[in-house]
Structures are given as C-alpha cells and as structure tokens.
C-alpha cells in the first residue's frame, strides 16, 4: 500500500467505484499505477477484461522510443481487442469487420498482419505482415497546464503501470510462473475500421482476470508486459553496454 498523500495524479471512475492514481512505485524507481475504492464504495468486483484506463494516445512508428513504447503485434486470434465499444477476441472483431467491409477476403483485414486458414486445426491463424513497419506505439508527450504541471487523466494514466512480476535477476520460468499472480492488468488494442481494415488506434489497460478490490488505501497494480518484452529489453541493454565498452 501507499499513502494517498503521496499520489501525484488521479481520477475517480464512479461507475466502477474506484479511483485510479499515479504515485511513487513500490516495485521500482519512478512512478507506478495505483487503485483504491472511492469513498462511497465498500468493495468492487471487476470481471476479466474490464477497461480501467487508457494507456495513452500516441502514434505508431518504425522503431521503439523510450520506456513507454508498446509493440503492436497479435500472435493469436484469441487475443482481446476493443472494437465497437466492447472487448472481444480478435477473431470476433475480424468477423464483424468483414461484414462492415462487405468482403469475405480476410487475409489482410487486420492492419500489419496476415490471416491464414489452418486446415489441420481448422482455425484462423494470425501472423505478422513482414512488409509492415510501424510496429511500435509511442505515447504522446504529456501536456502541461499554465503552471507547467503535467495534465494527467484517465486517458493516459495506464502508461505508468509497472510489471510487478519482473526483476533483473528473474528467469523466464520464474516470470511465467508469477506474472498472473503479481499482475492484475493487461493491454488490449482499441481497433477501428479504416479503409476497409481493422486498424489500431491506441492501447487500453484492462483487467487480466476477475479482480475484487476491497482496499481503501492506494494499492499498486501490475501490468503484464510478457517475457518477450523483457527478453528484448535485456538484449537491447546488452548491445548498448557492448557499444559503450568499445
């Protein structure tokens, strides 16, 4: 838990009975994302896939920039997305998108990906389109008010969530065994129809599973990044250290 007085930003999500806050992290240097019940609520049970806040508005670019970059990549048609104002598996969004576009050709209906029919499993598979380059989402800079203070809001608080299952000495096995118990949030992509394709707009932070909040004090909540993210981050850091040594 963290003291409420330590929080630097936040907002009340009255329909959930929760306050979403940003303050000094308990798991790493810098800021973290916290949740507490609002004053009128005794407990709040949020089912899997409940949107808590936005990650940030931003843009898709060719290369990762900074620590808040999110990869735009689907590996399974069961991956969740937000489309037409509700969360659903990607495969369901594809079906809706094909109806809206008036086409039965699904191969390129998801921007940056290829859809293929697997006869053996009788399922639709999704793979990255190697010709697509804008694979990284970089958040917009946080605007400042007239006094030079950051203007945080429900649309961009999510980018301060940390992965509570990761540590510098963690192995892949250790991370995978603890990520769902130490993290309660995940990122899903908000999608929209653009030029007949399902196109990404921005990431949204949702609950990883059913979560029952009972705390009246701010509690830091973790965001599942994935081991692939951390492995890439480690590799990049090692490359940078090798360059510095030379």
Q: Which two tokens stand for residue 184?
A: 């309660």
Residue with tokens 């990049």: 236
Q: 10-residue block means of pLDDT along the chain (246 residues)?
A: 91 96 92 95 96 95 88 92 96 96 92 92 91 94 78 91 91 93 96 96 96 97 88 74 68
pLDDT of residue 230: 84
pLDDT score of 85: 93
**pLDDT confidence of residue 16:** 97
Residues 161, 223: contact at Cβ < 8 Å? Answer: yes
pLDDT, residue 235, reads: 77
Q: Computed from CA positions of residues 171, 35, 73, 75, in that sequence, does the dihedral angle turn out positive or negative?
A: positive
pLDDT of amino acid 226: 84
- Give the model's pLDDT for residue 246: 64
Position 196 scores a pLDDT of 94
Are residues 17 and 44 in contact, defined by beta-carbon separation less than 8 angstroms?
A: yes
What is the structure's pLDDT at 74?
Answer: 93
192 by Cβ neighbours in 10 Å (0-12 / 13-18 / 19+) ranks as middle
Residue 144 has a pLDDT of 79
| Beta carbons of 52 and 204 less than 8 angstroms apart | no
State residue 146's pLDDT score. Answer: 75
With a threshold of 0.85, does the pTM exceed it?
Answer: yes
Give the pLDDT confidence score for residue 118 in this predicted structure: 86
Q: Indicate the burial class of 33 (C-beta count within 10 angstroms; 0-12, 13-18, 19 or more).
A: buried
């Amino acid at each position: 838990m963290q003291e409420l007085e330590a929080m630097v930003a936040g907002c009340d999500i009255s329909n959930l009975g929760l306050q979403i806050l940003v303050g000094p992290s308990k798991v790493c240097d810098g800021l973290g994302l916290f949740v507490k019940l609002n004053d009128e609520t005794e407990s709040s049970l949020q089912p899997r896939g409940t949107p808590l806040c936005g990650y940030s508005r931003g843009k898709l670019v060719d290369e990762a920039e900074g620590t808040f970059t999110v990869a735009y990549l689907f590996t399974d048609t069961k991956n969740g997305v937000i489309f037409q104002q509700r969360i659903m598996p990607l495969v369901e969004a594809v079906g809706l998108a094909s109806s809206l576009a008036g086409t039965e050709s699904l191969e390129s209906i998801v921007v940056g990906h290829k859809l293929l029919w697997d006869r053996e499993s009788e399922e639709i598979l999704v793979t990255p389109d190697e010709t697509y380059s804008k694979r990284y989402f970089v958040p917009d800079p946080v605007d400042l008010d007239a006094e030079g203070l950051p203007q945080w809001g429900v649309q961009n608080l999510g980018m301060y969530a940390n992965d509570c299952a990761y540590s510098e000495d963690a192995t892949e096995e250790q991370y995978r065994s603890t990520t769902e118990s130490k993290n309660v949030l995940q990122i899903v992509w908000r999608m929209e129809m653009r030029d007949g394709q399902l196109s990404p707009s921005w990431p949204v932070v949702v609950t990883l599973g059913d979560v029952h909040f009972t705390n009246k004090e701010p509690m830091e909540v973790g965001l599942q990044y994935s081991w692939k993210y951390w492995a890439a981050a480690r590799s990049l850091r090692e490359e940078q250290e090798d360059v510095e040594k030379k």
